[in-house]
Structure 1
């Protein structure tokens, strides 16, 4: 799992229990999945199609720093399937896991478009081409 982004849990991110609001965390995950997919598929027109069961395992509190990790599970014809894990950066305790986030590559017409990708590419590798 590669952890790409860190978020600092601030007062405006909390629910009534004083812990990180699940909806806020899901918004952070969705944004990270979109950014990751846009970079991998080299197309700014990528949308979230599906998120599987979301498993909350622990809570984050104000002041915690959480890390969002993503791995590619599968390259489809016009999609990219990701797995996500969010953990507390200090304790390494898992906060949430999502086994399947399906992102779809779109064409100018807004319809799914084949992306032609079959493996993860890193920016450094693209710069060497």
Structure 2
């Protein structure tokens, strides 16, 4: 799994217990999945269709640095299925795992649009082709 993004836990990210608010973490995961999928599918009109159950393994405190990892599970006709893990950068403890996030490529009318992709591509490799 590749860990693409790091977040620094600040006071505004905490719940009343003084630990990372789960809703904030889920928003970060959703944004990371969207950004990853938009780049992979080369379509800015890519949206979250489904997120499987989430499994909180541990928490994070103010000042901790967490990193968000995304891995492609499957390419569908108009979708991309991802897996996500968030871990504490310093301790390497897993904070949360989301086994399945389905992102869908849309056309101008908001209907699913086939993307024609079958494997992970890196932007640097696309630039070489052009």
Which TM-score applies when normalising by structure 2? Answer: 0.99
Q: State how 1:1-129 maps to structure 2 within 5 Å.
A: 1-129=1-129
Number of aligned residue pairs: 129
Q: Any unmatched runs of 5+ in structure 1? A: none
**RMSD over equivalenced CA pairs, Å:** 0.3
Instruction: Give the whole-Å Cα distance in 1 for the aligned partners of 2:124 and 2:100.
Output: 27
Quote how far apart the aligned CAs of 1:90 are. 0.2
Report the CA distance between 1:114 and its aligned residue: 0.2
**1:17-58, Cα deviation, whole Å (9 max, x unpaired):** 000000000000000000000000000000000000100000
Gaps of 5+ in 2: none
Please, what TM-score do these two structures have when normalized by structure 1?
Answer: 0.99
User: Secondary structure at 2:71's aligned position in 1?
Assistant: strand
Query: Offset at 1:127?
Result: 0.7
Q: Counterparts of 1:101 and 1:55 in 2: how far apart (Å)?
A: 13
**1:4 Cα deviation (Å)?**
0.2
Structure 1 segments (4+ residues) deviating >4 Å:
none
**What is the CA deviation profile of residues 82-123 of structure 1, one whole-angstrom value per residue up to 9, with x for unaligned ones?**
000000000000000000000000001110000000000001
